[in-house]
Amino acid sequence: MYYDFETLVNRGELGSSKWLGMKDKKPDVSKSIVPFSVADMEFKNAPEIMEGLKNYLDETILGYTSPTEGYLDSVVNFMNRHHDWNIDKSWIVTAPGVVPALAHSVRGFTDPGDGVIIMTPVYYPFFACVTMNNRKIVENPLIDNEGHYEINFDDLEEKASDPKNRILLFCSPHNPIGRVWSKEELERVAAICLKHNVLIISDEIHFDLIMPGYTHTVMSTLSEEIADHCIVCTAPSKTFNLAGMQTSNLVIKNKLLRDQMKKSMLEVAFLNCGTLGYKACEIAYNQCDEWLEQLISKMNENKNIVEEFCKREIPEIKVYPLEGTYLQWLDLRAFGLSKEQLEKEMIEECELFFDEGYIFGDAGVGFERINIACPTDVLLQGLNRLAKWADRKRMR
pLDDT in tens, 93-121: 999 999 999 999 999 999 999 999 999 99
pLDDT at 186 over 70: yes
pLDDT at 387: 98
pLDDT at 284: 98
Ranges 233-237, 263-267, 315-319, 364-368: which has the least confidence: 263-267
pTM: 0.96
C-beta separation of 53 from 242 below 8 A: no
pLDDT at 271 over 80: no
Phi, psi of 42, rounded to the nearest 5 degrees: -95, 40
pLDDT at 285 over 90: yes
3-class DSSP string for the chain: CCCCCCCCCCCCCCCCHHHHHHHHHCCCCCCCCCCCCCCCCCCCCCHHHHHHHHHHHHHCCCCCCCCCHHHHHHHHHHHHHHHCCCCCHHHEEEECCHHHHHHHHHHHHCCCCCEEEECCCCCCHHHHHHHCCCCEEEECCCEECCCCEECCHHHHHHHHCCCCEEEEEEECCCCCCCCCCCHHHHHHHHHHHHHCCCEEEEECCCCCCECCCCCCCCHHHCCHHHHCCEEEEECCHHHHCCHHHCCEEEECCCHHHHHHHHHHHHCCCCCCCCHHHHHHHHHHHHHCHHHHHHHHHHHHHHHHHHHHHHHHHCCCCEECCCCECCEEEEECHHHCCCHHHHHHHHHHCCCCCCEEHHHHCHHHCCEEEEECCCCHHHHHHHHHHHHHHHHHHHHC
pLDDT at 269: 78
pLDDT at 396 over 70: no
- Summarised one tens digit per residue, pLDDT across range 138-179 is 999 999 998 899 999 999 999 999 999 999 999 999 999 999
> Whole-angstrom Cα distance, residue 140 to residue 137?
10
pLDDT at 268: 83
Longest dimension (CA), the chain: 64
pLDDT at 19: 97
**Stretch 213-232: mean pLDDT, rounded?**
98
pLDDT at 256 over 80: yes
Average model confidence (pLDDT) across the chain: 97
pLDDT at 270: 75
Phi, psi of 86, rounded to the nearest 5 degrees: -95, 105
pLDDT at 395 over 80: no
